[in-house]
Copies of this chain bind each other. A is one copy, B any other.
Amino acid sequence: MGKIQANRNQSRKDVIRHTAARLFRERGYTAASMRMLADAVGVEAPSLYNHIGSKAQILQEICEEVANDFLVQIEQVTDSKGSATQQMAEVLHFHSNMMVQQYDAVYVANHEWKHLPEAAIARFLEQRRQYEKKLVAIVEAGIAQQELQPVNAYTAVLTMLAALRGLEFWQRHKKQVAAATLQADMVALLLNGIVKK
């Protein structure tokens, strides 16, 4: 019974977290109220607190998991020792996959981290800086090895990250372009813009 109970609590908390991620994305963290969240989950507002610590803690867990997922994956790529072009393609691939598959959580981390408690903001931004640095290092290595055009590495990374973030809008264009097609086209466009021919 202990184990079943633990599983039930786990799934209940998961439902709350996933529903919160969707609500935070749709309404924004501040405008999304715990009463809306309770409604969406199907309980009264106070009952949520049997599963979660606070509204702020939900946001924190979402942001921390997203930041961690991105860092773990880019470290796997840099450890792989492929060429710079291969590594960039791999990063663009898993990053765009995250945008599509973990849409709610990634969106919330990108847009609502400002509402984290101060200490958590510092940690989140530090993790993001580390991710950017690893990506810049890949681009710089590619330039040094003459695989990539001699562009400003920071600008290139900023442009790539911004374009990837643009996948947020793939939903608006779902009818015109399938997610997979948009993903592939965008990756190709970014690579063709920087890889030496």
Which residues on A are within 8 Å of B, measured CB to CB? 26-31, 111, 114-115, 149, 151-152, 154-156, 158-159, 161-167, 169-170, 173, 176-177, 181-182, 185-186, 188-190, 192-194, 197
Contacts and interface: CB of A to CB of B under 8 A. Distances in A.
Contacts of A182: 152, 154-155, 158
B159 A190 contact: yes
Contacts of A27: 114
Contacts of A115: 28, 31
Given A30-B31, A154-B176, A193-B193, 6 more contacts: A28-B114, A152-B177, A154-B173, A155-B189, A163-B163, A197-B197
Contact of A190 (B26, B152, B193): B193
B173 A159 contact: no
Contacts of A28: 28-30, 114-115
Contacts of A161: 166
Nearest to A111: B111
28 contacts: A26-B114, A28-B29, A28-B114, A30-B31, A149-B192, A151-B185, A152-B177, A152-B182, A152-B185, A154-B177, A154-B182, A155-B181, A155-B182, A155-B185, A155-B189, A158-B182, A159-B189, A162-B164, A162-B167, A163-B163, A163-B166, A165-B165, A165-B166, A189-B193, A189-B194, A192-B193, A193-B193, A197-B197
